[in-house]
Structure 1
Amino acid sequence: MTNTGKKDGTPIVQTAQDPAPGYYSSPTSLADKTKKIQDPNRYVDSQEIPYIAIPSKFSTQFKLGDIALVVNKKNNLKCYTIFADVGPSNKIGEGSINLAKELQISGNPKTGGPVADVV
């Protein structure tokens, strides 16, 4: 998230009053529009809420806020999630850190976890 809302803007760093002071804020497509754009509480918290990201052109039948069931076929763990973000058009299979934790797969935001066994 940037001060202009565009990629070339300055990233917004959380202040002492925010949940993670000194860290960048990361927006989600699903947002509480009663809160200011720079307020990190406006967006879904990846560490607290199990959610998925779906590419915008994947289907017109899904709407932000819809509920989904995600299954890790390797260990048969299941987790209900919310569709809270629009992901890149060339990639499907993104989920929140909390979802990864619930399914017992790597929740590392940089490397992620295996998606072959997750549906």
Structure 2
Amino acid sequence: MKKNLKPPAYNKFIEIEKPKLIWKMEMDVYTAGDEYGAASRMLTHLSRNISHNSAPDWAKELTELIDPPAEEYLADSPTPVPGPVPQVSPSPTLKPTVTSPSPSTNKGSYIELPLN
């Protein structure tokens, strides 16, 4: 019977610290690039730990991640400033030259392009 009992520090860790560590891990996963998967797991984590002391902070963080303020959009994509238009020189057009094959090789007509 004593084997099934855990020390109070372990129970406290499981109830308080482990959910915090899982939340931090999912925040890292979100910022590393798996936004959809991490956000889904964060929402599930929040619903399972709604009575945790950090749950209101987690809800706020998740809301800010999913729906950032408009100022962040403006900071990420500044309005482009028009600059000078580069001048492009026209390239010479190449005209194909159609020649007939020599009488010794009767393979039909072909197109010969100039090398210059």
Task: Return the TM-score normalized by structure 1.
Answer: 0.20
Task: Return the TM-score normalized by structure 2.
Answer: 0.21
> Which structure's residues are more often strand, by fraction?
1
Query: Which structure exhibits the higher relative contact order, with contacts defined as CA atoms closer than 8 Å and separated by 6 or more residues?
Result: 1
> Which structure's residues are more often helix, by fraction?
2
Higher-Rg structure is: 2
